């Protein structure tokens, strides 16, 4: 795996995880009862973006290491997922 492929793989994993982790433990302004004027009541009270980004980075690194080692050590290759038999 080239360095560019490794970076792209990590970025894809990171962004997918971040979008899954972002709505977790979200408390809206409407739930807390304090709505800032000019914002909808469904907007987050405290989104904790930094904490969620750190958690995402740690989880993404573990997943990236597992997936990258599967690719690097040829445990899973392109021929393994060739279900239509197009690769000879």
Structure tokens belonging to residue 14: 């990171």
Looking at the predicted structure, is the pLDDT value of residue 69 above 90? Answer: yes
Task: Name the residue ranges covered by the structural domains of the chain.
Answer: 3-81
- Three-class DSSP category at 82: coil
Is pLDDT larger for residue 88 or for residue 14?
A: 14
Whether the per-residue pLDDT at 88 is higher than 80: the answer is no
**Angle made by CA atoms 74, 77, 82, in degrees to the nearest 5:** 160
Instruction: Write down the pLDDT at residue 17.
Output: 98
What are 50-60's pLDDT values in tens digits? 999 999 999 99
pTM: 0.83
The Cα 71–Cα 83 span in angstroms is: 18
The predicted structure's pLDDT at residue 65: 98
């Amino acid at each position: 795996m080239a360095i560019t492929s490794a970076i792209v793989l990590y970025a894809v994993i990171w962004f997918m995880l971040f979008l899954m982790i972002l709505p977790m433990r979200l408390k809206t302004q409407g739930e807390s009862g304090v709505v800032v004027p000019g914002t909808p009541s469904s907007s987050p009270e405290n989104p904790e973006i930094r904490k969620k980004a750190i958690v995402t980075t740690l989880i993404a690194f573990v997943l990236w290491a597992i997936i990258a080692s599967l690719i690097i050590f040829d445990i899973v290759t392109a021929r393994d997922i060739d279900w239509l038999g197009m690769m000879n």
